[in-house]
Amino acid sequence: MPEARAAVSVVVVNWNAGDALAACLASLAADGDPAREVVLVDNASSDGSTGVVRARYPGLRVIETGGNLGFAAGANRGAAVARGEVLVFVNPDARVLPGAIARLVDTLQHVPGAGIAGGGLLDERGRWQPAWARFAPLPHLFLDTTLGRAAERFRRAPHRVDWVYGTFMAVRRDLFEQLGGFDAGYFLYGEDLDLCDRAARLGARTIFVPAARAVHGPNVSARQRFGAGREAAVVRGEMRFYAERRGPAVLRLFQAAAVCKFGVKAVLAGALGRRAAAATYARVVRACLAGGSVGGERLPDVAS
C-alpha cells in the first residue's frame, strides 16, 4: 500500500503585494490538492489585495496581524494556526508550478534526515534564479554569484545545501516547533539563513529540490518597504546572522569582504555609467561600514 503524503499547510505573508498575491493564490489553487490548507497572513495591507483573494477563495484562512510585523513574525503567526504536518512558506510574489509543493513534501518524507526543503526559482521570463547559498561568509560573498553558481543551473537531482531561500521552502512542523519558528528579530532577509543554520545544529538537513519550481516576481513588498535600499537590507540581515550565530570576528570578516566586493562593483558600475547600480552598491558599502538601521532594522550590538 503506498505511503500517505503528509498533510500540508501553505503559509503566505502579504503586505501590499497587489496583483502578485492574486497570481500566487491562483497558482496554489491550480496545483490541485483539495486537502491542502492555505493560510494567508495579512500584515495590515492597504492596497486591497487581501480583500480581493478573500472574496475569490471563500475557504481561505486569513489572519489579520493589525500591523506590518515583517516576514518572520508574520510567518510564525500563520504557522501557529496551520494544521499541516509540513509547513510550506511561499512569498506573495511567487507562483508555484504544478507538482512543486508535492515534490518538496516527498523530499521531506523520503530523504533521510531532511528537515527543510527549498524549491528552484525562475524569473518572469523563465530564467534561472538562485535559491540557496552557503553559510561561510567568504564562499557566500564570492562563490554565491552568477559565475560561481554556473554549474548549479544544470543540476536536477535533490541535494544537500547549507540554506535555502524563504521564497519557497517547506519545513517539517515538528522541526519548526522545536526551533521556535523563525527568529522574529529579523524583519525581512536573514530569517531563512538563520532557520536553516539552527536546524543544522540539531542535525536536520536542508535539501534543495531543483525540480520543485516557482516563478518569482520582482520583490513587490520588499521594494515598497526598502526602495533602492533593498540590497543593503539583504546584507544587513546577513550581518545580523553573523553577529548572532558566528560572533564578532566572523562578522568583521564578512563586513570587510563585503566592503571590498561591493566597493569594486560600485566603482565599475560608475565607470560604465550605470548610476543606479553604482548607488545601490554604495548603499551596501555604507550599510557594512555604519551602525544605525536600514528600513527600520537595527543590527544587534556585538561585543568587540
pLDDT in tens, 142-165: 999 988 888 888 889 999 999 999
Count other Cβ atoms within 10 Å, centred on residue 62.
16
pLDDT confidence of 302, banded at 50, 70, 90? very low
pLDDT category of residue 293 using cuts at 50, 70 and 90:
very low
**Tens digits of per-residue pLDDT, 16-63?**
999 999 999 999 999 878 779 999 999 999 999 999 999 999 889 999
**Residues in contact with 253: Cβ distance below 8 Å, sequence separation at least 6, in sequence order:** 137, 138
Query: Whole-prediction pTM value?
Result: 0.92
Q: Which amino acid is at 249?
A: A
From residue 181, how far is each of 70, 87, 198 by CA, in Å?
14, 11, 10
CATH number belonging to the domain at 8-223, selected among 3.50.50.60, 3.90.550.10, 3.30.70.240, 2.60.40.10: 3.90.550.10
Is the predicted pLDDT of residue 3 greater than 70, yes or no? Answer: no
Is it the case that residue 296 has pLDDT exceeding 50? no
Rounded to whole angstroms, the Cα distance separating 244 from 139 reads 19
List the grid coordinates of 221. 513588498
Radius of gyration, CA atoms only, the chain? 19
User: Any idea which residue has 528579530 for its cell?
Assistant: 185
Q: How confident is the model at residue 230 (pLDDT cuts 50, 70, 90)?
A: confident
Higher pLDDT, 298 or 114: 114
| pLDDT tens per residue across span 98-115 | 999 999 999 999 999 999
- Contact of 101 with 170, CB cutoff 8 Å: yes
Check whether 74 has a pLDDT greater than 80: yes
Does pLDDT of 294 surpass 70? no
pLDDT bin (cut points 50, 70, 90) of residue 4 is: low
pLDDT at position 131: 96
Report the pLDDT value the prediction gives residue 18, as an integer from 0 to 100: 94
Torsion over CA of 198, 204, 209 and 212, rounded to 10 degrees? -80
Confidence of residue 229 (pLDDT cuts 50, 70, 90): confident
Give the lowest-confidence range in 1-5, 173-177, 233-237: 1-5
- pLDDT in the model for residue 304: 29
Least confident of 118-132, 186-200, 283-297: 283-297
Average pLDDT, integer, range 55-74? 95
Mean pLDDT of the residues in the chain: 91
> Which pLDDT score, from 0 to 100, does residue 170 have?
98
Each domain of the chain, given as residue ranges in start order, spans 8-223, 247-292
pLDDT band at 291 (very low <50, low <70, confident <90, very high): low
